[in-house]
Structure 1
Amino acid sequence: KQNVFDDFIAAGEFLIAEQYTSSDKLAIMGGSNGGLLVGACLTQRPDLFQVAIPRVGVLDMLRYHEFTIGWAWAEDYGRSDDPDAFKYLIKYSPLHNIKKVEYPATFIMTADHDDRVVPAHSFKFAAELQHQQQGNEPVLIRIETSAGHGAGKPTSKLIDENADMLSFMLYNMNEEVSYKKLDQ
């Protein structure tokens, strides 16, 4: 798993080195397993990104298998009750690698009826990140009500969710957004 995080971080470093962007204009977002990716990269290289948005992410790698369908992922991740797997999981578990440093603006997204990645992952991650944050960037959590892991969400909820996410991202990258009326 660490290779995935290393590759993602290297991609961000490449974009900056080649002057496609800068760290103050680099935002990352991922959902579910991609939320794990964002959480791990956020805790491993908080200086690289201006905005991080983990959506319904697997963020507690030591207890994921204790909740709902999490047991089924053990073959992919390993389980923390196996001493060898524990040594590996503890090194990248986003929740367990939060330190007292400056983190980028972070918008953690979850849903109260998510039975795939229970919202406790996001609750614990948000609380610990808020507690350890040494910078001035916000660490917020958005909890969608009466919603699950993502599939089957009504269009109105998707619009609200994406509007909040994009607004947070653009605001925290100091991007000006202009609107033009379309000719009718």
Structure 2
Amino acid sequence: WFTSTGGVRAPVYVMHKVGLDLDGSHPTILNGYGGFNSNTKPGFSTTRLAWLEAGGVYAVATLRGGSEFGETWHQDGMLENKQHVFDDFIAAAEKLIEAGFTDPDHLAISGGSNGGLLVGSAMTQRPELFRAVLCTYPDLDMVRFYQFTETNNMPALLEYGDASIPNQFEAMRRYSPYQAIRDGVKYPAVMLTTGDLDTRVSPLQGRKMAARLQAATASGLPVVLWYDSRGGHAGGRGRPISLRIEDTVRELAFLAQQLGLGEEAN
């Protein structure tokens, strides 16, 4: 369990091989979502299994904004309270380091859609805490996000806020990842993924974030953009298994290279 702002405590689920030495050296992926009253908890995944078999650690953070502890938990992570979600995620990362699972040179964060906003905010608020970021189909310019799609934005407006309302605009501006980028900061390695047919989150969000990060970062670490000209949100429904496998291999290879997974075996 970790403790976040306001004294709130929540679990972070950690998966690894039996007999892991807590020496702070293990390549670790921390995943989260924290929004839209969605329940996020660990489950079986061949993707995670491949990472664990290679010697990595996989963790899932329980964050405000979800449904894990009821509607009050959800409301404590939406609208003007959205920063609580990012505080929780950062606290979970710090707990993994404190417990000896990993360190900032071996810690990656991953998230998609609302989880993409999560990792984008965590990265721009605490860039020194992470080595790599996997950010897929994300909202990243929260001041203008509702202007970029022609589909129904009402669920997102109810969750994030409306920029035409002053107090909600100010809250979104403070945590918006795109607006938070600063020149000369040593940002982690980043892989952004977008789909040209995404009608929920415009692909321009990932593209403009990639361009801004490439111009701003002083770390020398890669900032790359993968865009699928035929893919929708999270790849889109009916995406062939072969393409999903390619997605997984590409993402895991990027994280493994950045975190040094498997280097001891070589």
Q: Report the TM range for the smaller structure's normalisation.
A: over 0.9
Q: Secondary structure at the match of 1:110?
A: strand
Residues 1:128 and 2:209 aligned together: no
> 1:54: which partner in 2?
135
Please show how residues 101-120 of structure 1 align to structure 2 within 5 Å: 101-120=185-204
Q: Which amino acid is the alignment partner of residue 97 of structure 2?
A: I
> 1:91: which partner in 2?
174
Deviation per residue, 1:78-126 (Å, 9 max, x gap): 1212221111110001111011200111000111111111101101111
> 1:4: which partner in 2?
85
Number of residue pairs aligned between Structure 1 and Structure 2: 179
> 1:68: which partner in 2?
150
What stretches of structure 1 of length at least 5 have no aligned partner? 180-184
> 2:101: which partner in 1?
20
Equivalent pair of 1:2/1:92 in contact (CA under 8 Å): yes
Name the CA distance, whole Å, in 2 between partners of 1:24 and 1:154.
35
Structure 1 stretches (4+) deviating beyond 4 angstroms? none
Structure 1 residue 127, shift from structure 2 partner: 0.7
> 2:25: which partner in 1?
none
> 1:182: which partner in 2?
none
Please provide the CA RMSD for this pair.
1.5
**TM-score with structure 1 length normalisation?**
0.93
Q: CA 1:33/1:18 → structure 2, altered by over 3 Å: closer, same or farther?
A: same
Name the CA distance, whole Å, in 2 between partners of 1:157 and 1:140.
19
**TM-score with structure 2 length normalisation?**
0.65
> 1:164: which partner in 2?
250
- Identity fraction in percent: 40
Q: Which amino acid is the alignment partner of residue 53 of structure 1?
A: L
Structure 1 residue 17, shift from structure 2 partner: 1.1
Q: Which amino acid is the alignment partner of residue 92 of structure 1?
A: Y
Deviation per residue, 1:149-184 (Å, 9 max, x gap): 0232111111111111100000011222699xxxxx
Name the CA distance, whole Å, in 2 between partners of 1:3 and 1:175.
31
Q: Which amino acid is the alignment partner of residue 139 of structure 1?
A: V
Name the CA distance, whole Å, in 1 between partners of 2:131 and 2:264.
21
Residues 1:80 and 2:166 aligned together: no
Name the CA distance, whole Å, in 2 between partners of 1:70 and 1:141.
26
> 2:224: which partner in 1?
140
Name the CA distance, whole Å, in 1 between partners of 2:238 and 2:205.
21
Q: Secondary structure at the match of 1:117?
A: coil
Q: Secondary structure at the match of 2:109?
A: strand
Name the CA distance, whole Å, in 1 between partners of 2:99 and 2:190.
25
Structure 1 residue 64, shift from structure 2 partner: 1.0
Q: Which amino acid is the alignment partner of residue 139 of structure 2?
A: V
Equivalent pair of 1:53/1:107 in contact (CA under 8 Å): yes
More helix by share: 1
Range with greater deviation from structure 2 (169-178 or 134-143)? 169-178
